[in-house]
Amino acid sequence: MNSSTQETGAHAHQVAEAVPAATPMIDVMIDTETLGTVPGSAILSVGAVMFGPAGLGAEFYAPVLLASCTDAGLVIDPVTVAWWMKQGDEARAAAFRSDAAPLRVVLKDFSDWFLEQRARKPWCHGATFDVPVMEAAYRACGMAPPWDFWNVRDTRTLYDLAGLKVDRSEGTHHNALDDAIAQAKAAAQAMRVLRARGDASTMTPELLTEIALAFCEEAEADAEIRAGGPGRLLAFDYFKRGWLGNGGAVNARLAGEGAAA
């Protein structure tokens, strides 16, 4: 690839049609594949996807020319290189690509994409890796990241609060875009869980009972189930439908405010 082709960076990212949502997406999940485990490591690829409670939106993916990373002062960890040699063919093929673009081009493309999406909050899987890795790369190139430091978010905290784990059964693990998508899906689900949990905590006992009765009618529950208490049925339905993620929280609220029959 000649230098003029590399400098365009036109191949470096792809944009998917955003999922319609009631509010604009401002959160972006970032994943990097690197040749080290600390900020300042050489970057092999950058993947990102917009997301929110409604789902996922536009995507970004760019492989990075390794020589451009070392030229900028980023370092290669031999232990991580050995680790990569043990990964699957698909993951290695995605990480070490012949059409990779120079680091500065990829960072410029990513900043342009970030601003085009009107993103505000960059997320990464663990507060100490992907975003700090990107920030170190920006500094090495004499560039500023497109986000404000106070908007950086951490998935592991979110997952813990919602009681969720990342499902990596789809795509290729250690492909930057596939990992970003898997993490964003889990984050979007966690947002829905926590939002529903907050909604339930503000409901009055009367409203909870009305919802429970509606569930009874919808399920065509028999007299014995109705006699068992709409509050217990409500808690079960919240848990079963995944609206709350924790049926016990509804039970506790019903017990505390006497909404259960």
Question: So what's the pLDDT on residue 111?
Answer: 98
Least confident segment among 60-69, 101-110, 194-203: 194-203
Q: Which amino acid is at 4?
A: S
Segment 19-45 mean pLDDT: 87
Coil, helix or strand at residue 214? helix
Taking alpha carbons only, the member of 155, 158, 137 closest to residue 146 is 137
244, 238 contact by CB (below 8 A):
yes
At 46, is the pLDDT very low, low, confident or very high (cuts 50, 70, 90)?
very high
Overall average pLDDT of the 51-79 stretch: 95
Cα dihedral 151, 154, 155, 157 sign: negative
pLDDT tens digits, one per residue of 128-155: 999 999 999 999 999 999 999 999 999 9
Q: Domain coordinates of the chain in residue numbers?
A: 3-191, 203-257
d(Cα 120, Cα 221) in Å, to the nearest integer?
47
Instruction: For domain 3-191, say whether CATH 3.30.70.890 is its number.
Output: no
Q: So what's the pLDDT on residue 212? A: 59
3-state secondary structure of 22: coil
- Determine how many CB atoms are found less than 10 A away from the CB of residue 3: 7
- Asked if pLDDT for residue 7 goes beyond 50, the answer is no
Looking at the chain, the whole-number percentage of residues with pLDDT higher than 70 is 67
Structure tokens at 221: 């529950």
**pLDDT for residue 84 is more than 50:** yes
Q: What is the mean pLDDT of the chain?
A: 78
First to last CA, the chain: 72
pLDDT at 195: 80
- Give CA–CA dist 182/169, Å, rounded: 9
Phi, psi of 158 (to 5 degrees): -60, -45
- The answer to whether 96 touches 87, Cβ cutoff 8 Å, is no
What tens digit of pLDDT does each residue of 197-240 get? 765 555 556 655 665 565 555 555 444 444 555 444 454 454 44
